[in-house]
A and B are shown apart, each in its own frame.
Chain A
Amino acid sequence: MGKVRRISGCVAAANAVKLADVDVICSYPIRPYTGIMSELARMVADGELDAEFIHGEGEHAQLSVVYGASAAGARTFTGSSGVGVTYAFEVYSPISGERLPVQMAIGDRTLDPPGDFGSEHTDAECCRDQGWIQGWASTQQEVLDMHLIYYRVGEDPRVMLPQFVCQDGYYITHILGEVDIPDPSQVKEFLPPYKNHHVLDPKNPMIIGAQIEPAMGPPLQYQRYQAMQAVGQVLREAHEEFARIFGRRYDPFLEEYLTEDAEVVIFGQGAHMVTAKAVAARLRNLGEKVGVVRLRTFRPFPTEEIRRRMSRFKAIGVLDNSVNFGISCNGGVLLSELRAALYDFGDKVKTVGFVAGLGGEVVTHDEFYRMFRKIQEIAKTGKVEQTAYWLPFEL
């Protein structure tokens, strides 16, 4: 068994990277994820971790460095926040397209404006369709665990895709939580060494990333699509193995909280769901049948899981902590995708969106009460007067 320490989400991520015996790390400073790299730099300086620690000249370089290193056979790690995430955008598709299982931490931060350091999921969600596995942790422990699980899933020969491990800026990156840091021997059992069969090696020359003719476009993209389709099953297996070795069990896709006989739930991802759970628990004390469903895997979006498990609720409120100007239904991407997933159930399951916590503003208990009240009202009346509400202005 490991040892329990009180650490931040940043330090939790760094510990996972060390346990994964990563070979090449590429850094560039931007709040709030920077603490991950500071901790890794310390580990390298103190001789706790043998890795090449490269100071990239920007986020675009960070992703480019790990692209090259991964193609040369190294296990790699990088990370960013906010506008840093979007500055690197060009390189996301080449990484997944060459099937390089690079791992990147995102400590969420709002894009500019407003230029503050506050957490917002917009940065990471911008990258959602680039062929990367993507999910949000909601505690410091889950950060560490998710990093390890994602390395295993991304490097699985059936998958070979890069991964974004996302944590809310400040709420998780900077706040301390109790974390059970596993023993290296457990990690060794869980995470096999990185092995890429399409590696740069003069003894076995190959061309990686050749320009292709249009006729080769559909099969190439279909392979990447199939890899993403394979993630679900590999995630299930990895979570089973994780529970067996580490004794912590997570649902790979959806964490359900107080949902057994719930009539209405709030659906969302990341740290704000911790607040949502606290409010749901209080409402339960008042005898109200409310619950919370927290999305753990955003890409691939678990459509079948959602259809199977969430069509039983009368009404679902969806919290989007991001801006998606002009999106369908005026909410965010989570609302849009949840509605699409539940489309076949029609009016049986009502949905309503909430956009809250922008620019890093706290989503308060009071706001969650108001959201639950709105969802309950919709469940009772069967009427959705407005597809989404921006808090605090419209609700």
Chain B
Amino acid sequence: MLERIPSIRKAPDEEYYVPGHRTCAGCGPALAYRLTAKAAGPNTIFIGPTGCMYVANTSYGCGPWRVPWIHAQITNGGAVASGIEAAFKVLARKKKYQGEIPHVIVFAGDGGAVDIGLQALSGMLYRGHDVLFICYDNESYANTGIQTSPTTPYGAWTTFTPAGPAVPEGKKLFPKDNPKVVAHGHPELKYLATASIGWPVDLMNKVRKGLNAEGPAYLHIQAPCPKGWQFPPNKTIEMAKLAVQTGMFQLYEYENGEYKLSVKMEERKPVAEYLKLQKRFAHLQPEHIEKLQAFVDARCAEVGITVPAVASAR
């Protein structure tokens, strides 16, 4: 049983995601990985589907993990994890493996969790494997040079959704809400939450709750990407916080059929305050921002965030 971490000062000193990787300056997903590994501890196996956290982390003889890590295809993180979990279960039962059964964590990007990897994720959850599946959501196929994924926000520029005279808003579709896709169709699911690198203690405790649950758990972590979102690398945490404060990303746990909000908010900031700091939204016209604000208001209401969006005093 992994204990609750009361504060950042009381978090374990030990690191299991250590220097030796080649992520960009200000990388949000790398920080998410570090916090996850710290919370999970030494008796852990990571499955890394193809994505930034595969390509930028591994090179021959040089990887940042102090625990076992295995590559999965971008398609199949959930299935590979299912096999690993099942193997330890049966090998222990048949007395072919001695020792504590390790935590099994998939650390997949939004492509590997929400798009091409969704089938394997759903299969794993449906079958009830005792695995924590984490989606680190940087809202694009970043490793391949920033292409749209299903979690890319409406209106965002990517190389596959450029803004132009015929398509002034760039991306025209609204993002897929994977925590809800996961939450409402998998009877074996034992724990679901969203997290943000802007709230590191909350993130680590959600990792631990997911691992303590006996059965499948899903954690969706928003992890800003300076390169893809086009903001300076020293603004990553600020961007993560603003995403939550504007309601662009909602922090909650979903337990026993109820959304439990993780952050108390008196009011929300308008999405415009978030958008203006990221060049991926630079082309948006007021009508696009209005459309996005309405969408965010509705999505917040779904999970019980009812406080209004109020512009900051200047």
* Known pairs A60-B75, A65-B83; A200 contacts B60 (CB<8 A): no
Any A CB within 8 A of the CB of B165: no
Q: Chain B interface: which of A172-180, A204-212, A263-271?
A: A204-212
Any B CB within 8 A of the CB of A58: yes
Q: Do A210 and B60 have beta carbons less than 8 Å apart?
A: yes
* Known pairs A64-B83, A66-B83, A202-B43; A73 contacts B72 (CB<8 A): no
Q: Do B84 and A91 have beta carbons less than 8 Å apart?
A: no
Nearest Cβ in chain B — how far from A44, in angstroms? 11
Pull 17 A–B residue pairs with CB atoms less than 8 Å apart, ordered by A: A57-B119, A64-B76, A65-B83, A68-B80, A69-B86, A72-B91, A74-B83, A76-B83, A200-B45, A202-B42, A205-B65, A205-B67, A207-B58, A208-B69, A209-B72, A211-B54, A213-B60
Q: Do A73 and B82 have beta carbons less than 8 Å apart?
A: no
Any B CB within 8 A of the CB of A90: yes
Tell me which residues from 15 to 48 in chain A have a Cβ below 8 Å from any Cβ of chain B.
Answer: 23-24, 26
* Known pairs A23-B96, A200-B45; A71 contacts B75 (CB<8 A): no
Q: Choose among B45, B72, B82, B97 the residue with the greatest number of A CB atoms under 10 Å from its CB.
A: B82
Q: Which residues of chain B are within 8 angstroms of A52 by Cβ–Cβ distance?
A: 86-87, 89-90
Any A CB within 8 A of the CB of B199: no
Any A CB within 8 A of the CB of B265: no
Contact of A200 among B55, B70, B82, B89 (CB under 8 A): B70
Q: Which residues of chain B are within 8 angstroms of A60 by Cβ–Cβ distance?
A: 75-76, 79, 120
Tell me which residues from 189 to 215 in chain A have a Cβ below 8 Å from any Cβ of chain B.
Answer: 193, 200-203, 205-213
**In the complex, A70→B80 CA distance in Å?**
10
User: Per DSSP, are chain B's interface residues mostly helix, strand or loop, or mixed?
Assistant: mixed
Tally chain A residues at the interface, Cβ within 8 Å.
Answer: 44
Q: Which residues of chain A are within 8 angstroms of B54 by Cβ–Cβ distance?
A: 211
Any B CB within 8 A of the CB of A302: no
* Known pairs A55-B127, A60-B75, A64-B120; A210 contacts B63 (CB<8 A): yes
Q: Do B84 and A68 have beta carbons less than 8 Å apart?
A: yes
Any A CB within 8 A of the CB of B44: yes
Any A CB within 8 A of the CB of B122: yes
Closest 4 CB pairs of A and B: A209-B71, A68-B83, A64-B79, A57-B123
**In the complex, A55→B42 CA distance in Å?**
30
Any B CB within 8 A of the CB of A54: yes
Q: Do A56 and B93 have beta carbons less than 8 Å apart?
A: no
Q: Which residues of chain A are within 8 angstroms of B180 by Cβ–Cβ distance?
A: none
Q: Choose among B55, B65, B71, B83 the residue with the greatest number of A CB atoms under 10 Å from its CB.
A: B83
Q: Do B59 and A212 have beta carbons less than 8 Å apart?
A: yes
Q: Which residues of chain A are within 8 angstroms of B91 by Cβ–Cβ distance?
A: 23, 72-74
Q: Do B96 and A73 have beta carbons less than 8 Å apart?
A: yes
Q: Which residues of chain A are within 8 angstroms of B93 by Cβ–Cβ distance?
A: 50
Nearest Cβ in chain A — how far from B56, in angstroms? 9
**In the complex, A249→B274 CA distance in Å?**
74
**In the complex, A339→B99 CA distance in Å?**
54
* Known pairs A57-B122, A68-B47, A68-B79; A73 contacts B68 (CB<8 A): no
Any A CB within 8 A of the CB of B88: yes
Which residue of A has the minimal Cβ distance to B77?
A: A64
Q: Do B94 and A69 have beta carbons less than 8 Å apart?
A: no
